[in-house]
């Protein structure tokens, strides 16, 4: 069931979303060659708890860390580690979800580590553009698949990139994951009429390959990688459907 949020709930989700965005901005200053992803996790945990909030990923379904750090061919759910050291030319996605006063806000972005290849930079640029185009298309009385999935798929595929199909966005706010599941390709399962008060994430995961398939690490049970080793990139915002369009709640 899709929850239509009340004005007080929207305000609570807005505050949590802005804290998630502030956390991401804070962490971005530390992304450089030589830093380990566990250090980024520690910095995020301290920042979130210092603001009287809780990092939502920690212990969620057994996830062991406070943020996800997804490097290069890792699509999402990368686990921070002292053994994972950023190096020149990497790209890294930081995925942050906060719980503030019981409300959830969710954001992610992909960052270059030093100088990166033109292919990697093009992937970052196009993925961010795809997200922005989808956000612009969201408005009440339109359908979710037309506003998000179709817009992203139509924009991305001419570059021989592909949106990951097994994973997607989700309703958020009162819980970490709510209905609806948000596909980033044109799926009839998202033929859902948008209404004011809906809140969900749009978070395209885009591979530098026409191959959209992924594998989950059989050892840790979390890390999702491209099957062909292609680079993957993700950007995410928490979006409110308003009376006239949409509001990016995770915008500072």
Whole-number pLDDT of residue 95: 98
Q: Coil, strand, or helix at residue 238?
A: strand
DSSP-assigned beta bridge partners for residue 112: 91
**For residues 64 and 13, what is the distance between their CA atoms, to the nearest angstrom?**
24
Whole-number pLDDT of residue 240: 98
Whole-number pLDDT of residue 20: 98
CATH of domain 7-248: 3.90.230.10
Whole-number pLDDT of residue 234: 98
Q: pTM score > 0.95 for this model?
A: yes
Q: Is 97 within 8 Å of 106 (Cβ atoms)?
A: yes
Q: Over the chain (252 residues), what is each successive 10-residue block's mean pLDDT? A: 98 98 98 98 98 98 98 98 98 98 98 98 98 98 98 97 98 98 98 98 98 97 98 98 98 94
**For residues 164 and 40, what is the distance between their CA atoms, to the nearest angstrom?**
26
Q: Is 164 within 8 Å of 190 (Cβ atoms)?
A: no
What is the SS3 string spanning 198-218? CEEEECCEEECCCCCCEEECC
Whole-number pLDDT of residue 3: 98
List of residues 6+ apart from 68 with CB closer than 8 A: 57, 76, 77, 78, 79, 80, 93, 94, 95, 108
Domain boundaries defined on the chain: 7-248
Q: Which has the closest alpha carbon to 239: 200, 210, 184, 208?
A: 200
């Amino acid at each position: 069931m899709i929850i239509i949020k009340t004005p007080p709930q929207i305000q609570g989700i807005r505050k949590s979303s802005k804290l998630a965005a502030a956390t991401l901005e804070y962490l971005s200053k530390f992304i450089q060659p030589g830093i380990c992803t566990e250090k980024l996790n520690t910095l995020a945990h301290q920042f979130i708890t210092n603001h009287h909030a809780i990092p939502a990923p920690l212990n969620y379904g057994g996830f062991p860390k406070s943020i996800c750090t997804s490097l290069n061919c890792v699509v999402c759910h990368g686990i921070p580690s002292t053994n994972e050291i950023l190096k020149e030319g990497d790209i890294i996605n930081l995925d942050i979800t906060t719980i503030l006063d019981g409300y959830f806000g969710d954001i992610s972005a992909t960052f270059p580590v030093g100088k990166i290849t033109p292919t990697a930079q093009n992937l970052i640029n196009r993925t961010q553009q795809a997200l922005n185009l989808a956000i612009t298309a969201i408005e009440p009385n339109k359908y979710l698949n037309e506003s998000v999935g179709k817009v992203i798929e139509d924009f991305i595929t001419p570059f021989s990139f592909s949106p990951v199909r097994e994973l997607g966005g989700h309703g958020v706010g009162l819980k970490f994951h709510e209905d609806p599941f948000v596909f980033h390709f044109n799926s009839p399962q998202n033929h859902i009429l948008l209404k004011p008060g809906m809140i969900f994430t749009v978070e395209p995961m885009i591979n530098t390959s026409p191959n959209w398939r992924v594998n989950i690490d059989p050892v840790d049970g979390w890390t999702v990688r491209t099957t062909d080793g292609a680079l993957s990139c993700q950007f995410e915002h928490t979006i409110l459907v308003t009376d006239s369009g949409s509001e990016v709640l995770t915008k500072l």
